[in-house]
Chain A
């Protein structure tokens, strides 16, 4: 694994003290350095709620049911009904209430059961949360996190399988995060909750149960990751893969496969869609001269389109030996039909094939 980007690296001494404390106080087993994305998100919210009284969670089924996908498990029990609030199924209403509360000094975490339902509330995300700071000439900032699973799950058809990465990233005033593994999830959610601006935090249901290795540093209560910085998950010199969320997993798998035929792909995990860490992408392209963007969302005006355009507008353009290629979801609503669903989403072989074409092998 390549390097880790992190803030606030605690000194060795405080680190040891904290580790000792933690091993006494919590059930988290340090020897087993694996964590699911679900637990990473859960622990991030727990930490931040403990740290800051103003942080509270609201959304459908978040409290007594422990969350539709169990991401808020245990928090209602621990923090009570004042801070973990079950709402009716009324997205535009509770999103508006959350934004209002943020305007007036609270730090809401507004959970959408899935981001498909954020469409019911999108006016408050865009018009109320994203634009108020600007409209008030820098007076009223809106520290809120909108979070929940985004993108395609399995077998849930068109209305429940859409990536909103490009949608929300298009709007100035929002910060948009799309984590891949547990470290991302934990470090970035904590950062998002602490951030003074509205953050859209796009999780992926299919990754919730996945376990990823995690270090002591990541488990630290003060661990946060910088919003707007990508991470190089894998080093490589021949071609750059840039992806977010589930796309990173695909990119890593494709890179592994290509490695067996002597092609070394560099895999960039975007982590943040807005701001977009274009510098990391450019630096990589300058070395590899080839780039493929990978996402599960639609191609049209997608994240890959933006990356492609920004490359064209940068010096990296002169370093390209081949056009930028986007591997994306197919340009169709999601079908329920199993074989069609597979064909509607990018697969490892699509990336491998595209890379080979690009490199002329």
Chain B
């Protein structure tokens, strides 16, 4: 068992309130101790002492629970054959995203791979719009044209289906931040499998040479499809694989640890020191994509063990209830609300319609130089139309 934080009882009031926590949540702030970080080429790392307000506790709980619910709904929609193609779920990894997002400033950006539903929601997209993208309907975040792997929002550059490709893109987004002087950093997320792609190391090198404010985040969930990290990586100490880039290992099942690491990373990168690597140790409960049962290369016991001992939501829940930041009834109420919200979103995402056929030839170019687009034969001519906002038009 790892990842459990130790509650530090501040005051008598705190101790007393624990006894009353079933009924009241009277503490507004608590302090926890996270599991130690592992550091690479860093003298000092993130703080292992973490303070959490009851307001934030509720917020993070809500966010993690919402992601879990969205993913459960996505999985069900896939089983109903309403979601087609690929459908990669983030269940088990919620603390990584919520912990990082907790520290984002308006200027910070993120790019990730295809396991993007949760991030899309965190970056401001309504769960209904996430689910409608999955069902391929017009209220989808990308009007149903992108599907599971391709969702976008302000400061969120996707949703990339090509393993590793998002890594240099993230470095480029960070380069733009530096160039434009926004003060922002880019969180560039990739998996333990993607960590081996050559372009990751090319991006590392250039970002170090040029002091680009990029936080490389390797979400190590133990597997790249059916291959365990040990079988794919000569070194599984992903936080050290930037070599000349300092790195931090974080318990990715503890949202508070992730949040502290993100705080540290943002400070570090925006102070002009260049890039940083962060490895979040996490786990994916589902198969790689919905078509993978996920049980041929790992045991059911392994999955069960993680669920029971390291689940990011359950462990956080116990922690915040124990610290009397919230009480059980409050959380039950939240669960109920989220369930109702997602159930409703699912209903609407199923009922929504697809975009019209005219959009087949929509937004191929921001500034189309030809109005006609060839359809499937010379007798099927299409018209180029412009719909999206085109953020870089001028």
* A interface with B by C-beta (< 8 Å): 60-61, 64-65, 68, 86, 88-90, 92-93, 116-117, 119-120, 153-160, 299-300, 325-333, 335-340, 343-347, 350, 353-354, 357
Residue of B nearest to A92 (CB): B198
Interface residue tally for chain B (C-beta within 8 Å): 48
Can you list the 6 inter-chain pairs with the closest CB atoms, starting with the nearest? A155-B84, A336-B147, A155-B85, A65-B226, A88-B196, A159-B161
Report the separation of the CA atoms of residues A116 and B85 in the bound assembly, to the nearest whole angstrom.
15
**CB distance A160 to B161 under 8 Å?**
yes
Known contacts A157-B150, A336-B146; 10 further A-B pairs (Cβ under 8 A): A65-B226, A90-B198, A325-B378, A330-B361, A331-B382, A332-B361, A340-B360, A343-B360, A350-B376, A354-B379
Report the separation of the CA atoms of residues A325 and B377 in the bound assembly, to the nearest whole angstrom.
8
Interface hub of B86, B193, B225, B377 (most chain A Cβ within 10 A): B377
Residue of B nearest to A116 (CB): B162
CB of B296 closer than 8 Å to a CB of A: yes
Interface of A is mostly: loop
**CB distance A61 to B354 under 8 Å?**
no
**CB distance B225 to A65 under 8 Å?**
yes
CB of B231 closer than 8 Å to a CB of A: yes
* B interface with A by C-beta (< 8 Å): 84-86, 136, 143-150, 160-165, 193-194, 196-198, 224-227, 231-233, 296-297, 354-355, 357, 359-361, 364, 373-380, 382
Residue from the list A330, A338, A340 in contact with B374, Cβ < 8 A: A330
Report the separation of the CA atoms of residues A117 and B379 in the bound assembly, to the nearest whole angstrom.
33
Residue from the list B145, B357, B378 in contact with A336, Cβ < 8 A: B145
Q: Which residues of A contact B379 (CB under 8 A)?
A: 353-354, 357
Measured CB to CB, the closest approach of chain A to B329, in angstroms, equals 41
**CB distance A89 to B196 under 8 Å?**
yes
A340 and B198 contact, Cβ closer than 8 Å, known pairs A65-B225, A88-B233, A89-B193: no
Q: What are 16 pairs between A and B in contact, CB < 8 Å? A: A61-B225, A65-B296, A86-B231, A90-B197, A116-B162, A153-B85, A155-B147, A157-B150, A325-B377, A326-B377, A328-B377, A336-B136, A336-B144, A337-B143, A343-B357, A357-B379
A159 and B375 contact, Cβ closer than 8 Å, known pairs A88-B193, A93-B198: no
**CB distance B376 to A327 under 8 Å?**
yes
Q: Which residues of B contact A345 (CB under 8 A)?
A: 376
**CB distance B224 to A326 under 8 Å?**
no
**CB distance B84 to A329 under 8 Å?**
no
**CB distance B297 to A65 under 8 Å?**
yes
Report the separation of the CA atoms of residues A340 and B142 in the bound assembly, to the nearest whole angstrom.
14
**CB distance B198 to A332 under 8 Å?**
no
Q: Which residues of A contact B86 (CB under 8 A)?
A: 155-156, 160
Q: Which residues of A contact B373 (CB under 8 A)?
A: 330-332
Interface hub of B144, B145, B146, B193 (most chain A Cβ within 10 A): B145
Q: Which residues of B contact A344 (CB under 8 A)?
A: 360, 376
Q: Which residues of A contact B143 (CB under 8 A)?
A: 337
**CB distance B225 to A299 under 8 Å?**
no
**CB distance A328 to B231 under 8 Å?**
no
Report the separation of the CA atoms of residues A327 and B196 in the bound assembly, to the nearest whole angstrom.
40
**CB distance A338 to B136 under 8 Å?**
yes
Q: Which residues of A contact B380 (CB under 8 A)?
A: 330, 350
**CB distance B226 to A64 under 8 Å?**
yes
Q: Which residues of B contact A337 (CB under 8 A)?
A: 136, 143-145, 354-355, 359
Report the separation of the CA atoms of residues A325 and B376 in the bound assembly, to the nearest whole angstrom.
11
Measured CB to CB, the closest approach of chain B to A243, in angstroms, equals 13
Measured CB to CB, the closest approach of chain B to A332, in angstroms, equals 6
Measured CB to CB, the closest approach of chain A to B291, in angstroms, equals 10
Report the separation of the CA atoms of residues A300 and B233 in the bound assembly, to the nearest whole angstrom.
40
Q: Which residues of B contact A326 (CB under 8 A)?
A: 377-378
Measured CB to CB, the closest approach of chain A to B116, in angstroms, equals 12
Q: Which residues of A contact B197 (CB under 8 A)?
A: 89-90, 120
Report the separation of the CA atoms of residues A343 and B359 in the bound assembly, to the nearest whole angstrom.
11
Report the separation of the CA atoms of residues A157 and B375 in the bound assembly, to the nearest whole angstrom.
17
Measured CB to CB, the closest approach of chain A to B296, in angstroms, equals 7
Q: Which residues of B contact A346 (CB under 8 A)?
A: 376-377
Q: Which residues of A contact B233 (CB under 8 A)?
A: 88
Measured CB to CB, the closest approach of chain A to B43, in angstroms, equals 32
**CB distance A340 to B145 under 8 Å?**
yes
A329 and B355 contact, Cβ closer than 8 Å, known pairs A89-B163, A155-B84: no
**CB distance B194 to A330 under 8 Å?**
no
Measured CB to CB, the closest approach of chain A to B32, in angstroms, equals 36
Report the separation of the CA atoms of residues A332 and B146 in the bound assembly, to the nearest whole angstrom.
13
Q: Which residues of B contact A158 (CB under 8 A)?
A: 146, 150
Measured CB to CB, the closest approach of chain B to A259, in angstroms, equals 20
Interface hub of A60, A158, A335, A353 (most chain B Cβ within 10 A): A335
**CB distance A340 to B161 under 8 Å?**
no
Residue of A nearest to B138 (CB): A337
A332 and B364 contact, Cβ closer than 8 Å, known pairs A61-B226, A155-B85: yes
Interface hub of A89, A325, A326 (most chain B Cβ within 10 A): A89
Report the separation of the CA atoms of residues A337 and B360 in the bound assembly, to the nearest whole angstrom.
9
**CB distance A340 to B376 under 8 Å?**
no
Q: Which residues of B contact A93 (CB under 8 A)?
A: 198
Q: Which residues of B contact A86 (CB under 8 A)?
A: 227, 231-232
Residue from the list B148, B357, B376 in contact with A328, Cβ < 8 A: B376
Residue of B nearest to A90 (CB): B196
Report the separation of the CA atoms of residues A165 and B217 in the bound assembly, to the nearest whole angstrom.
36
Report the separation of the CA atoms of residues A340 and B362 in the bound assembly, to the nearest whole angstrom.
11
Q: Which residues of B contact A336 (CB under 8 A)?
A: 84-85, 136, 144-148, 150
A156 and B150 contact, Cβ closer than 8 Å, known pairs A330-B375, A335-B145: no
Measured CB to CB, the closest approach of chain B to A328, in angstroms, equals 6
Q: Which residues of A contact B85 (CB under 8 A)?
A: 153-157, 160, 336
Report the separation of the CA atoms of residues A156 and B136 in the bound assembly, to the nearest whole angstrom.
11
Residue of B nearest to A119 (CB): B162
Measured CB to CB, the closest approach of chain A to B163, in angstroms, equals 5
Interface hub of B150, B196, B360, B376 (most chain A Cβ within 10 A): B376
Residue of A nearest to B144 (CB): A337
